[in-house]
Amino acid sequence: LGKSGIKKRFLTRTFENFTVDKVNQKAYETAKAYAENFQDFKEKGDGLYFVGSFGTGKTHLAAAISLHLIKKGIPVICKTLIDMLGEVRKTFDDDSRVSEYEMLNLYKTVDLLVVDDLGKESPSEWALATFYAILNERYEACLPTIITTNYNDQELIERLSRKGDIKTAGAIVSRLHEVCYLVEMNWKDRRGWRQND
């Protein structure tokens, strides 16, 4: 669990404490079925693609899947792209104990890779090429990936290609189409102000 990359806030985001209603029931059931039948999905290399507005529970469900699998001893990495690439950059330091190859290989071969909040960053050409290399390796090896994002296809391509490489950004989205089941979560922000009792 400590190596999964799941931040402290999301360590308690389980299926048990996800508030289910008529609006989000389908998304919840899809995520829970994925976690409970992960080996079947893994054999085919199938992932999930959570897309929708902010505050709808995308990260909660992605974290719930991750925690469910980690409890079963299945290796999972769950990070934002910014954090993933930050870990790769750390390997460039002289005192790094991990090589760039080792870090990239971890992302390319882990049983499940969860990339949270894709599109929030404006990656450099190096970052976009590195992310493509990770996803393409997983695509070719039939290893599953889960994505959460606030952006539709065109918006995501535009955000990922802000530094100019629209073809690579388009190829990333195209590959995700082929290997992920779409889970749309477009409804009102469920986050509320904290109440002072």
DSSP assignment string, 134-186: HHHHHHHTT--EEEEESS-HHHHHHHHTTTS-HHHHHHHHHHHHHHEEEEE--
Distances (CA, A) of 149 to 98, 114, 152, 176: 29, 11, 8, 12
What global pTM score does this model have?
0.90
Burial class of residue 83, CB neighbours in 10 A (0-12, 13-18, 19+)? middle
Task: Tell me if 18 sits within 8 A of 60, measured CB to CB.
Answer: yes
Q: What confidence tier does 194 reach under pLDDT thresholds 50, 70, 90?
A: low
Q: What are the residues whose beta carbons fall under 8 Å from the beta carbon of 118, sequence distance 6 or more? A: 80, 81, 147, 148, 149, 151, 156, 160
Is the CB of residue 176 less than 8 Å from the CB of residue 183? no
Question: What strands lie across the sheet with 145-149, from one edge to the other?
Answer: 76-80, 112-118, 145-149, 47-51, 180-184
Q: How confident is the model at residue 1 (pLDDT cuts 50, 70, 90)?
A: very low
pLDDT tens sequence across 81-122: 999 999 999 999 888 888 999 999 999 999 999 999 999 888
pLDDT, greater one: 196 or 117: 117
pLDDT tens by residue, 20-57: 999 999 999 999 999 999 999 999 999 999 999 988 99
Res 29: pLDDT: 97
CA distance readout (Å), 64 to 71, 92, 101, 189: 11, 33, 29, 19
Give the mean model confidence (pLDDT) for residues 152-162. Answer: 91
**Average pLDDT, integer, range 109-136:** 92
Residue 185 to residue 192: CA distance in whole angstroms: 17
What length does the chain have?
197
pLDDT > 70? residue 125: yes
CB-side neighbour CA atoms (13 Å) of 60: 18
